[in-house]
C-alpha cells in the first residue's frame, strides 16, 4: 500500500506590529490590514500561549480558521489596534480568579463548584478532573468547566483553610 506524503506545512508568517492595523468593521467584527496592504475580514485573534506567556504572541486566524500570521508582542501595535486586539482577546480568554470556595458537590462523577470569584459568586460544573484541572506551578491551578469557561486559583496556599481543603479534596 502506497501512502501519499503529508502536505508541507505552510510556514508561519511573523507580522510586523508596526505595519499591521487591526480595526472593528461596521458589523463589530475584526478586520486586519496586513503589512502587504491586504485587508482580511472576520479575523479571530488567539493567544499562542494563553497561560504561560499571555499577550506575548497572538495568532490571527481567518474566517475558516486558517492562520494568517502571528504578532509578536502586540504592545507595539498602534493604540487603536492594540485596544481592538486586547478587547477581542479579553472576550476569548475570559478568566475568573477564585477567591474562596463555598462548597463542592460530587454527584455521579460531575463535580459542582460553588465559589466566589473576582467577578462575584459563580457555580460551575467539572466533568473530568484529569482533563479539566491543571497545575500551573506549585500552588497555581487552572480549572476549565463543562462549558469551556476558565477559573484560576492564583495560589492554593493563599486560600482560607476551608477553601484550600475543599479544593484539595476535589482536584
Which tens digit of pLDDT belongs to each residue from 141-168? Answer: 989 888 888 899 999 999 999 999 999 9
Pair 79, 23: CB distance under 8 Å: no
C-alpha cell at position 61: 486566524
4 within some domain = no
Residues 138 and 156 in one domain: yes
Q: How many structural domains does the chain have? A: 2
Is residue 92 over pLDDT 80? no
Residues 54 and 120 in one domain: no
Full strand arrangement of the beta sheet holding 141-144: 120-126, 110-117, 95-107, 150-153, 141-144, 133-135
* Residue among 142, 166, 144 nearest 155 (CA): 142
Segments forming the whole domain that contains residue 113: 95-170
> Contacts by 143-150 with C-beta closer than 8 Å and gap 24+?
143/98, 143/113, 143/171, 145/113, 146/110, 149/94, 149/96, 149/124, 150/93, 150/94, 150/95, 150/96
Residues 88 and 105 in one domain: no
35-80 pLDDT, tens digit per residue, is 999 999 999 898 877 556 666 789 899 988 889 999 988 889 999 9
38 within some domain = yes
Residues 30 and 87 in one domain: yes
2 within some domain = no
C-alpha cell at position 11: 510556514
Give the pLDDT band (50/70/90) at residue 4: low
Residues 35 and 102 in one domain: no
* Residue among 59, 62, 74, 73 nearest 29 (CA): 62
Q: Average per-residue pLDDT in the chain?
A: 87
Residues 158 and 110 in one domain: yes
Amino acid at each position: 500500500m502506497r501512502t501519499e506524503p503529508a502536505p508541507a506545512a505552510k510556514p508561519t508568517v511573523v507580522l510586523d506590529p508596526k505595519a499591521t492595523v487591526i480595526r472593528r468593521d461596521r458589523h463589530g467584527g475584526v478586520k486586519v490590514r496586513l503589512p502587504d496592504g491586504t485587508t482580511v475580514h472576520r479575523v479571530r485573534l488567539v493567544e499562542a500561549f494563553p497561560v504561560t506567556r499571555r499577550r506575548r504572541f497572538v495568532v490571527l486566524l481567518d474566517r475558516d480558521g486558517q492562520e494568517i500570521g502571528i504578532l509578536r508582542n502586540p504592545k507595539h501595535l498602534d493604540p487603536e489596534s492594540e485596544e481592538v486586539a486586547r478587547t477581542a482577546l479579553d472576550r476569548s480568554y475570559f478568566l475568573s480568579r477564585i477567591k474562596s470556595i463555598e462548597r463542592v458537590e460530587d454527584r455521579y462523577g460531575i463535580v459542582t463548584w460553588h465559589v466566589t470569584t473576582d467577578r462575584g459568586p459563580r457555580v460551575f460544573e467539572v466533568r473530568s478532573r484529569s482533563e479539566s484541572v491543571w497545575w500551573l506551578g506549585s500552588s497555581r491551578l487552572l480549572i476549565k468547566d463543562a462549558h469551556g469557561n476558565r477559573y484560576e486559583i492564583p495560589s492554593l496556599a493563599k486560600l482560607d483553610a476551608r477553601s484550600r481543603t475543599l479544593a484539595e479534596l476535589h482536584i
